[in-house]
Structure 1
Amino acid sequence: MAGLLPVLLLGFLVPAALLAGDNTLVATRAVRASSVLGPDDVTLLPGSTPGALSSPEEAIGQETRAALYPGRPIYAGQVGPPALVERNATVMLHFRQGALFISTEGRALDRAGEGETVRVMNLTSRQIVQGRVAPDGSVEVGR
């Protein structure tokens, strides 16, 4: 309860929670899914919300996975790395094991950002495989 009491600081009443670092990151405006967040899209409000982000650095530059609404907390599952692979896009599949390196084309079945797992249909064999998106937008399988 002490975190809710205001504190007199330099003649201004400031919520103690803001001073203590218990903040919740919220959207400043409605943001559509698949949008990259900028500094004007988020702000901090005093108080802690379980599971919500607490720092602008955690969200700025990330892509929204769901629509965000003004004044509502932003949760970690609602943002992620910007998509490098779009659904139905043709991507390069790379398999490497020791000295063996195989490369072929595939069709992405999902959207995904760098480091995320994506399902891809191998266009040669028609098999569906899972792989991790590399920084260049290709998909590494078999690791």
Structure 2
Amino acid sequence: MTRLFALLALMATPAQADTVIAARTIRAQSILTPGDVTLVAGDIAGTYVSLDEVIGQEARVVLYAGRPVRSNEVGPPAIVARNQIVTLFYRAGGLMIAAEGRALGRAGVGDRLRVMNLASRQMITGIVRDDGTVTVAPGATRFPDLPVN
């Protein structure tokens, strides 16, 4: 019986979470591949714990070799480039307006993006959709019901 308790005590050691670190220095705007990141034992707050969470994502900043990859340092790959012409959709009630704008930064799907309306030169912030358009609406953050043109 004593042996059983000793065995259970050895098996009951606290499990440590893994942390994702950069295997080499990675430039900003690079898409992460399996060779770019690795797991190490340890639990660091605000970092990724699984390789699946970061592979295929884009580095938002330079990731240095041997340092943990923090949650704000990677994100979805950009589909809108700075200075790219994008279609803006504005919707309020039954009214829907489409206009052209110039992207003032890089952004991926679901990211907030500042855009300059080319007709009025007004600066607008909207959400990038998976087709590369930007939706703008007062007080809204998601626009799943807009048609894709």
Alignment TM-score, normalising by the size of structure 2: 0.80
- Number of residue pairs the alignment of both structures matches: 128
Partner in structure 2 of residue 27 of structure 1: 22
Matched position secondary structure for 2:26: coil
Partner in structure 1 of residue 75 of structure 2: 80
1:33 is matched by which residue type in structure 2?
A: A
- Runs of 4 or more consecutive aligned structure 1 residues displaced over 6 Å after TM superposition: none
- Separation in structure 2 between the aligned mates of residue 68 and residue 96 of structure 1, nearest angstrom: 39
| Structure 2: gaps spanning 5 or more residues | 1-9, 141-149
What is the CA distance between 1:49 and its match in structure 2? 1.2
Alignment TM-score, normalising by the size of structure 1: 0.84
* Superposed counterparts of 1:1-143, under 5 Å: 20-142=15-137, 143=140
Per-residue Cα deviation, 1:42-98 (whole angstroms, up to 9, x for no partner): 110001112111111111111000011111100001000111111111111011233
Greater share of residues in strand: 1
| Structure 1: gaps spanning 5 or more residues | 1-7, 10-15
CA RMSD of aligned residues (A): 1.7
Based on CA coordinates, which of the two structures has the bigger radius of gyration?
A: 2
What is the CA distance between 1:21 and its match in structure 2? 4.5
2:30 is matched by which residue type in structure 1?
A: S
